[in-house]
Amino acid sequence: MHNLGVLLSGRGSNFLAIADALSSGTIPDTQIAVVISNLADAPGLTAARNRGLNATAIEARGRKRAEHDAEIITTLQAHKVDLVCLAGYMRLLSPGFIQAFPQRILNIHPSLLPAFLGLDAQTQAFEYGVQIAGCTVHFVDEQLDHGPIILQRAIPVLPTDDAHTLAARILEQEHIAYSEAIARVLSGNYEVLGRRYVPKTGDD
């Protein structure tokens, strides 16, 4: 059985999509061992508790990043987490966190990386005038929205779109992409060559 740890700061729709994929068997032999938020009032934390999952707030306020991260690492390890999924977790990870889970931390970003890093990526893409938008699931390294790409999903920007409708349609793609990327990584059926995710024969 694989154990996932989910870190979130907000509404948690990606977390819920992952939880649904686990319930429906899309990601085999896997469970969410713990959901952690840096914000006690994150709706995603409430949603996790409503599903009967271990869900805990580890607040960052007034603490050094490394110290806060160390408590999160301890909690993840206590739940025997082997893959950490950032799902709208709005804090940068310290190098110690990344080293504690080498190539075992995933993030989802609502743009086709390397375009439009950071906050409000969907609005950045819309205002830039791109005609293809999308989302990226990637391994986390020490730079923002930067590690090797596991999977991307693209959609056209429609003439009728505004930043809000575009973000909503990207979010639909995120909900598909994250579970697929988790299944890919847990299968172990790949290697990372430089920055390139390369499936081994038999995988797509």
CB of 113 to ligand GRF, least distance (A): 11
13 belongs to the binding site for ligand GRF (CB under 6 A): yes
Under rule CB under 6 A, residue 79 binds ligand GRF: no
Q: Which residues contact 174 (CB under 8 A, 6 or more apart)?
A: 13, 14, 17, 108, 110, 135, 153
Q: Both tokens of residue 136? A: 């990226």
The yes or no reply on residue 109 touching ligand GRF (CB under 6 A) is yes
Nearer to ligand GRF, 37 or 94 (CB): 37
Does 114 sit behind a cis peptide bond, omega within 30 degrees of 0 on the bond before it? yes
- Taking alpha carbons only, the member of 188, 203, 95, 86 closest to residue 145 is 86
**Minimum CB separation from ligand GRF for residue 17, in Å?**
8
Stretch that binds ligand GRF, among 12-20, 47-55, 74-82, 124-132 (CB under 6 A): 12-20
How far apart CA 78 and CA 9 sit, in angstroms, is 21
Q: Which is nearer to ligand GRF, 84 or 87 (CB)?
A: 87
Residues whose CB is less than 8 angstroms from the CB of residue 20 and which lie 6 or more positions away in sequence, other chains included: none
Q: Segment 165-194, which members bind ligand GRF (CB under 6 A)?
A: 171, 174
Instruction: Please calculate the CA angle 160-169-36 and round it to the nearest 5 degrees.
Output: 150
**79 touches 5 (CB < 8 A):** yes
Q: Does 38 bind ligand GRF (CB under 6 A)?
A: no
Q: Which among 2, 68, 79, 109 is annotated as catalytic?
A: 109
141 sits near ligand GRF (criterion: CB under 6 A): no
Active-site residue set? 109
Could you list the residues that contact ligand GRF (CB under 6 A)?
Answer: 8, 10-14, 44, 87-88, 108-110, 171, 174
